[in-house]
Amino acid sequence: MKIDRFLAKHDSLGRRRARQRIVAGRVHVNGMAETRIDREVNRFCLVEMDHIAIQKPERRLHLMLNKPVGVVSATVDAQHRTVIDLIDDPDKASLHLVGRLDRNTSGLVLLTNDGTWSKALMAPSRKVPKVYLVETRDPIPPEAVAAFAQGFYFHTEDLTTLPAALEILAERRARLTLHEGRYHQVKRMFHRTGNRVTALHRERIGGIALPEGLAPGDWRVLTNLEIMNP
Ligand code: URA
């Protein structure tokens, strides 16, 4: 929201008086005088007028979690443990998930309370790569590489999946990179080749990789570099 609109609501100041105070240098954002009436502010900004805080900033949170199998990617669930149950932070109730994993999938889950950040990361136009380790019931034939690169037509959504990079690591083990995230996408793609996924683990989302030292069930705050270059 622009700062003039934000201030207009405060004490029923109104847009005209809000603008006058901004231009007069009476408003500070994050400790700096702000004289632009079109400055964007959000709930993470400290906003002061005449050096009195009229909005205290909320704490911005960006976390990664190594989701174990059996835990659900949801904030509440009547039956199962959720990713939120694994987090020990006083502000965890403000978090939302940046993309989900199935209950029987393990690996990297991102959580944040910053909707602008998560929206930008998940925007379909960005085609952020998501990397999965896959184990299958049957051997993966070399022809599967071309089939995944070509894409599969999904009837329910009436679409063809984007080219996906399949790297065969062993007879029944592969690394798969997707640039989209459709419902049960990895499992459905393997199903289309007549195979079955027996284990699925997400290793990476864009520039954020699950570190080796982060055990299943553990989480940590993202580094500034990870937040800035996801
Ligand atoms: N694809 C799946 O089938 N399941 C997941 O959890 C993630 C991607």
**pLDDT tens string 163-182:** 999 999 999 999 999 999 99
- Segments of the chain assigned to CATH 3.10.290.10: 3-55
Stretch(es) of the chain classified as CATH 3.30.2350.10: 62-228
Ligand 1 mean position, distance from CA 185 (Å): 5
CATH 3.30.70.520 fits 3-55, yes or no: no
Cα 51 to middle of ligand 1, angstroms: 50
- Return the CATH architecture of domain 62-228: 2-Layer Sandwich (3.30)
Which residue from 97, 104, 130, 186 has its CB within 8 A of the most atoms of ligand 1, so it is best to mutate?
A: 186
pTM: 0.89
The response to whether residue 182 sits with its C-beta less than 6 Å from ligand 1 reads no
Residues 6+ apart with CB under 8 A from 93: 84
- Given a cut of 80, whether residue 11 has pLDDT beyond it is no
The alpha carbon of 186 and the centre of ligand 1 are apart by a number of angstroms equal to: 5
pLDDT-wise least confident of 4-18, 42-56, 68-82, 85-99 = 4-18
CA angle 62, 129, 146 (to 5 degrees): 160
- β-partners of residue 131 are 177, 204
